[in-house]
Amino acid sequence: MSDVLRIENLGHSYGKFKVIEDISLSIGKGEMSALIGPNGAGKTTFYNAISGHFPPTKGKVFLNGEEITGLTSHKVVDKGMCRSFQITNIFSELTVLENVIAPLIIQRGKHFKIYGNIFKDKQIVDSAMQTLEQVGLSDRADQVVANLAYGDKRLVEMAIVLARKPSVVLLDEPTAGMNPEETENMIALIKKLATGSGTTFFITEHDMKVVFSLAEKIYVLHQGHLLAQGSPEQIRSNEQVQEAYLGRKVHA
């Protein structure tokens, strides 16, 4: 299994305060991995540093063997790594289809000033519809996003990310705010996409049921350091991990 994402000695500081320090990990192509940790462990800073939100203070990030350390977020996306945010990042006033067409316009170097005519581009429309089919929203393509249920809005966000055909997707709390049925549907969708899309998913999630349902390998951050890594079974039984979660055992 070749590494699609490799991180070497990553660190980020604000002045003398080290938020994350010396984090190294490798994710193989097609491997489903998860990053967990208590609030304040440094997960968001870690995601921001590898996705181009800001450059890390130290360390290197490699995507498909190419160093992307310090690239801006849009350049990181161009290289093949996309991020889905915890809070839905979509255009509520547009239709589902229009939301998915938007990143395809950008990817092809087109401009929003011709957006009104973009439906004449069969290639873009077909590609957007194929992505909506992947996430189960093709029958709602013409619906305005503002009118959708919360779970469906998260699916639109997933479609926006997948439309760029990324090699790696960072999923930030993919089930946040969802009810149990929506959560189960999202778990099933991520499993299906991980198997059939050729995309590698790296998730951060507080819901341990979601983590243990999806991840083949789990990385645990605590106070900015990588506390543990291993299979779900190894993480579940790790006493240091249990202590990091305020003494509570990690349940599947």
Q: Which domains does the chain have, with CATH numbers?
A: 1-80+167-252 (3.40.50.300), 89-165 (no CATH)
More confident residue, 63 or 177: 63
Model confidence at 246: pLDDT above 50: no
More confident residue, 6 or 16: 6
> Which range among 25-29, 59-63, 121-125 shows the weakest confidence by mean pLDDT?
121-125
Question: What whole-number distance in Å separates Cα of residue 89 and Cα of residue 110?
Answer: 21
Indicate the pTM of the whole model. Answer: 0.88
**What does the mean pLDDT of the chain come to?**
89
235: its two tokens = 């993480």
Q: What is the pLDDT of residue 114?
A: 46
Percentage above 70 pLDDT, the chain: 91
Q: What is the pLDDT of residue 111?
A: 52
Model confidence at 244: pLDDT above 80: no
- Per-residue pLDDT tens over the stretch 142-176: 999 999 999 999 999 999 999 989 999 999 999 99
Model confidence at 128: pLDDT above 80: yes
Q: What is the pLDDT of residue 59?
A: 97
> Which range among 81-90, 105-114, 221-230 shows the weakest confidence by mean pLDDT?
105-114
- Per-residue pLDDT tens over the stretch 180-226: 999 999 999 999 999 877 899 999 998 999 999 999 999 999 999 99
Q: What is the pLDDT of residue 166?
A: 93
